[in-house]
């Protein structure tokens, strides 16, 4: 009987030790530094001008591409790049029968360079956008990914993704108060179109230079070549 108990306790101790080692391994993995992006191709390309293509919209909100396209140019320009005016590029696409973003994304790179004269093109994909009601809260969100492609070589110079979620943050009035507040906030968010502001915030996070793994400063920025 004692031998059986000894074996049982030994097994328990071994299991606990294995669990502790597993936890230590997971903590070490979580604490591991994030790999730094390789900017070699970006620095060699040294793009001066960027064409922002119509964003591909994977969200159910039809206004998402307009909001993202309208607010993407400012952070890029502030980062030191010349941006092909989006009204000009949109009209050019329409005049040539390209009315769907997926079609614009499928155009050959050399053709985009020939028509617009840009050094690089920015491809944006919207994954979430708009106001939604979630049980006791109403949130406005925007999420997207993007990649910058050299129009001469076809190389990917940079890629990134971001998500912005703004909630009601109601803390008083109990469950009933939270529900009423969420309903009111959903109406206010829809009427005031806060999703457009959230798209702007998402673009600033995604397309501004100067932070870790962000795009590099462009040639028209005082900090060009320092990152």
Residue 162, in any domain of the structure = yes
**Does residue 44 sit in the same domain as residue 18?**
no
Residue 100, in any domain of the structure = yes
| Distance separating alpha carbons of residues 147 and 124, to the nearest angstrom | 7
**Does residue 133 sit in the same domain as residue 165?**
yes
Q: In terms of residue numbers, what domain contains 19? A: 1-32
**pLDDT the model gives residue 157:** 98
Start-to-end CA span in the chain (Å) = 70
**pLDDT the model gives residue 134:** 58
**Does residue 90 sit in the same domain as residue 154?**
yes
Highest mean pLDDT (candidates 17-26, 67-76, 131-140): 67-76
| Distance separating alpha carbons of residues 133 and 181, to the nearest angstrom | 11
* Domain tally, the chain: 2
Q: How confident is the model at residue 35 (pLDDT cuts 50, 70, 90)?
A: low
Residue 74, in any domain of the structure = yes
**Does residue 8 sit in the same domain as residue 48?**
no
Mean local confidence (pLDDT), 139-162: 95
| Buried residues in 133-156 as b, exposed as e (16+ CB within 10 A) | eeeebbbbbbbbbbebbbbeeeee
pLDDT at 1 over 60: no
| Distance separating alpha carbons of residues 86 and 83, to the nearest angstrom | 8
**pLDDT the model gives residue 168:** 55
| Distance separating alpha carbons of residues 217 and 167, to the nearest angstrom | 32
**Does residue 171 sit in the same domain as residue 83?**
yes
What is the pTM (predicted TM-score) of this model? 0.75
Mean local confidence (pLDDT), 5-27: 43
| Distance separating alpha carbons of residues 205 and 131, to the nearest angstrom | 20
| Distance separating alpha carbons of residues 37 and 150, to the nearest angstrom | 17
Helices of type H across the chain: 2-31, 40-45, 64-78, 86-95, 101-105, 109-116, 174-192, 194-207
| SS3 label, residue 33 | coil
**Does residue 4 sit in the same domain as residue 114?**
no
**Does residue 1 sit in the same domain as residue 102?**
no
| Mean pLDDT lowest among 14-18, 96-100, 136-140, 211-215 | 14-18
**Does residue 134 sit in the same domain as residue 188?**
yes
Which CATH number does the domain housing residue 180 bear? 3.40.50.10610
**pLDDT the model gives residue 130:** 85
Q: How confident is the model at residue 215 (pLDDT cuts 50, 70, 90)?
A: very high
Q: How confident is the model at residue 19 (pLDDT cuts 50, 70, 90)?
A: very low
Provide the phi-psi class of 77: left if phi over 0, else alpha when psi is between -120 and 50, else beta.
alpha
* CA dihedral sign, ordered 164, 166, 167, 172: positive
Residue 214, in any domain of the structure = no
Q: How confident is the model at residue 211 (pLDDT cuts 50, 70, 90)?
A: confident
Give the pLDDT confidence of 166-190 residue by residue, as tens digits: 875 544 444 444 444 444 445 444 4
pLDDT at 49 over 80: yes
**Does residue 61 sit in the same domain as residue 115?**
yes
Strand partners, 161: 145
pLDDT at 128 over 70: yes
**Does residue 47 sit in the same domain as residue 97?**
yes
* CA dihedral sign, ordered 199, 192, 65, 182: positive
**Does residue 98 sit in the same domain as residue 175?**
yes
């Amino acid at each position: 009987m004692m031998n059986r108990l000894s074996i049982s306790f030994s097994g328990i101790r071994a299991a606990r030790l294995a669990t502790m080692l597993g936890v230590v391994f997971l903590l070490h993995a979580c604490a591991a530094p994030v790999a730094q992006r390789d900017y070699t191709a970006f620095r060699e390309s040294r793009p001066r001008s960027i064409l922002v293509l119509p964003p591909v919209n994977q969200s159910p909100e039809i206004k998402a591409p307009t909001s993202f396209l309208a607010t993407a140019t400012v952070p890029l320009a502030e980062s030191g790049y010349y941006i092909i005016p989006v009204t000009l590029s949109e009209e050019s696409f329409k005049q040539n029968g390209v009315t769907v973003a997926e079609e614009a994304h499928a155009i050959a790179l050399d053709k985009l360079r020939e028509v617009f004269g840009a050094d690089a093109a920015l491809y944006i994909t919207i994954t979430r956008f708009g106001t939604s009601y979630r049980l006791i809260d109403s949130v406005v969100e925007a999420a997207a990914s993007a990649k910058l492609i050299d129009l001469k070589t076809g190389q990917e110079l940079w890629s990134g993704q971001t998500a912005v979620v703004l909630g009601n943050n109601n803390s008083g009035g109990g469950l009933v108060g939270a529900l009423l507040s969420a309903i009111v906030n959903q109406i206010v968010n829809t009427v005031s179109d806060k999703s457009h502001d959230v798209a702007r915030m998402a673009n600033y996070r995604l397309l501004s230079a100067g932070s870790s793994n962000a795009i590099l400063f462009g040639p028209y920025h005082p900090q060009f070549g320092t990152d």
